[in-house]
Amino acid sequence: MVWILGGLLVWTGAASFIELGVAIAHNGGVQEYLRHCYGDFMGFLFTWTWVSITKPCSMAIIATVFADHICHAILPDDMISTLLIKLVALLGTAAITIINCLNAGAGVMAANLFSVLKLVTVISIAVTGITAGLLGYGRGVNDKPGHGWFDSTSKETISLSLMVANFVTAIFGALFSYGGWESVRSLCQSSSSLLS
């Protein structure tokens, strides 16, 4: 349900951008649409907010999640600290920055490598889930009682407010993973202007 609702929300945003792109045929995406509709100051304010707050915060979150996962995958739990996770996140951000500063080709190669790694990860998760389902894990066939993936014998109850909070948190994750559609129009316009 979360993925369907997240997809519908993202589709409404993407459809709005399609309409804006048809109505306002200028390069620049959100900044250009805000400038056209509300004036130069709003376009300027959006651009500086995006560059100084939105993108750095997004990169910091991604780097922290990466560092947390990589530390837990490599090190034992007693060696992991908040300081270590922050240090690994800073090193990861610095490494990506250095790669992108080398030249455009290095940045493209790094982006392609990470795209392949993401695809391999998603495919491996799907294959693992399908294999576990076919082998009967989660249905009480080969696993310990009370520890199945879809165990319906659990008597734990959670409040309605906690259920709503969990649902909203999951929606944020779905919207984040569906993100990037607002950049497509700008990229398409930049490519077409370079080709002409």
- Over residues 109-150, the pLDDT tens digits come to 988 998 899 899 889 988 998 888 888 766 555 545 554 545
* Cα end-to-end span (Å), the chain: 44
The shares of helix, strand and coil residues in the chain, as percent rounded to the nearest 5, are 80, 0, 20
What's the CA gap between 153 and 185, in Å, rounded?
49
CB-based contact 48:31 (threshold 8 Å): no
Name the pLDDT band for 184 (thresholds 50, 70, 90). low
Is residue 59 over pLDDT 50? yes
Residue-averaged pLDDT of the chain: 82
Q: What is the pTM of this model?
A: 0.62
